[in-house]
Structure 1
Amino acid sequence: MPRVKKGALDIELRELAYVKASQLNHCVYCEAHNSALGQKVGVPREQFQAQAEYETSPLFTDLERLVIRYADEMTTKV
């Protein structure tokens, strides 16, 4: 498993948030890097591919939807 800093938010949830912010900021490098790291820590590739439909996709739990929505709001409105 890659070395990552511990934080209040689970690493899988953090990677979902990082990828969402990377997509919104059109940072291809960031999206690729965080998607790869996310997959190494257990986030399925399909979740990264389905982030555009996170609100309705059955691939996400309610908590994952909240985290992605928070990343979206903080990236686009703050």
Structure 2
Amino acid sequence: MGPRIVIGKVEPEAYKALGALSNYIEHSSLTKTHKELIKIRASQINGCAYCIDLHTKDARKNGETEQRIYALNAWRETPFFNDEERVILALTEEVTLIQNHVSEETYQAAAAILDEHYLAQVIMAIINISAWNRVGIATGMQPGL
């Protein structure tokens, strides 16, 4: 892959605007665990190697286990995630793969476990990482660089 633009240099105001949403998410009431699970799972689905690398490292720094990180793409088949995490992961998958829509079942399961403010924050966190994934993929950002 040849060199690509660095949006933060070419259009710093656009980068700053997306960063403002990230700042909102960072200061929301979402737990660090929930934020990182959302970031990793959405990045896996979107295929953003840069974000997977970054957020798995961040998750480890925040105390996430290797076992849960490795099993994240198969979370339904493991006993490693609690009910709240499972509903957040299901919502993450459906919002990330939005062309399939968010099912009523998933939405109602999330609404039953999460209060409306937390649910809104989860949805915004999913949207935010998906936007960053698209920046990383479109501009060819590489992990570890």
What's the C-alpha RMSD, in Å, of the aligned pairs?
1.6
- C-alpha distance in 1 between matches for 2:96 and 2:29: 19
Residue of structure 1 equivalent to 2:76? 55
- C-alpha distance in 2 between matches for 1:21 and 1:34: 11
For the 8 Å contact 2:38–2:88, the answer to whether it is kept is yes
**1:32-59 CA deviation, whole Å, 9 max, x = no partner?**
1001001111111211110122112011
Give the AA of the match of 1:50: A
- C-alpha distance in 1 between matches for 2:97 and 2:29: 23
Aligned length: 75
Give the AA of the match of 1:77: I
**Structure showing the higher helix proportion among its residues:** 2
For the 8 Å contact 2:44–2:73, the answer to whether it is kept is no
Secondary structure (helix, strand or coil) at the match of 2:78 reads coil
Aligned: 1:18 with 2:46:
no
TM-score (norm 1): 0.86
Residue of structure 1 equivalent to 2:48? 27
Alpha-carbon shift at residue 66 of structure 1 (Å): 1.0
Aligned sequence identity (%): 27
Structure 1 runs not aligned, ≥5 long: none
Secondary structure (helix, strand or coil) at the match of 1:19 reads helix
Larger Cα-atom Rg: 2
Structure 2 runs not aligned, ≥5 long: 1-25, 100-145
Give the AA of the match of 1:7: S
Runs of 4+ in 1 over 6 A off after TM superposition: none
